[in-house]
Amino acid sequence: MKKNIICATFITLALIFISSKAFCGIVIERLHVYQVSPNKLEKEKSISYFQDNMVKTVQPDGSYVIVDLNKGKFFFVDPKEKKYMENSIDDMIKQVKKGMKELKNQFKELPPEQRAIIEKMMGINKNDKKPKPVLKATGQKEVVAGIEAEKYVIERQGKIIGEYWISKKLRDLIAKELEPSKIEEFERAMGQISKQMDFLADSSQSEILELEEKIRKKGEVVKEIKYVNFMNMKTKDQEEIIAIREENLPKATFEIPKGYQKSEMPKGEMNFGK
């Protein structure tokens, strides 16, 4: 009798564990602070949901992106219009490569004076042979959103151009919901897209992107501050996780709502406004 009660208890606990695991997830809130002018900051908050190799990120305007790592697909959802677009990660990389190639060709065809103006706006001086940026571990630790992180910096000539706080603990937590191999595959894809977006082939920017890839291999970025020069204005852009919690997420969190209309991905050409 006692043995049967013990067995029944273990079965009940196992069922509770399996049931809760099926609906368990992670919710992360991020605060983005952009310097849009020397005296003006703009703040935005986004929320990301992680579960069973699915990620959903809700933007400040209510639109959201669902990434299905199992199928290698993106879903861009607009609740206001009740529409969504679907694309594979591979197709997105191909489209970005094609668009950037067209943009580079257009840029080459511009008169020299126009090219010089655009390069100046982007803070690029190809005649300025900048020393390579370097990645350094500071040895400093900080608690961000209740989780410990290590600080790294990217420097050029001793001047900090980026600060990054990395948490292996958060990466391990997310790995409970997203398979590490799928995370690495997705990050490689995003890295390819980022490099393609560097359409002016600014070598210094590409070097920074490569160092950021190395940083992300060490863990999850919980806070980052970038000091950049854009359109002749030195800016400070910051992104920081402000809340992390485990939460029961229903399956519907990662589903397209019923009645939403599927739209085609935009295929408009990229150009310099000619």
- pLDDT (tens digit per residue) in 249-263: 999 999 999 999 999
Question: For residue 157, what are its two tokens?
Answer: 């000539």
Question: Quick one: 259 exposed, middle or buried, by C-beta within 10 A (0-12, 13-18, 19+)?
Answer: exposed
Tens digit of each residue's pLDDT (9 = 90 or more) over 140-168: 999 999 999 999 999 988 899 999 999 99
**Cβ neighbour number for residue 94 with a 10 Å cutoff:** 11
Question: Quick one: 8 exposed, middle or buried, by C-beta within 10 A (0-12, 13-18, 19+)?
Answer: exposed
pTM score, two decimals?
0.76
More confident of the two residues 224 and 3: 224
Pick the CATH number of 25-259 from 2.50.20, 3.40.50, 1.10.357, 3.30.9: 2.50.20
What are the sequence ranges of the domains in the chain?
Answer: 25-259
Question: For residue 270, what are its two tokens?
Answer: 């990229």
Tens digit of each residue's pLDDT (9 = 90 or more) over 103-140: 777 777 888 888 777 776 666 666 666 788 999 999 99
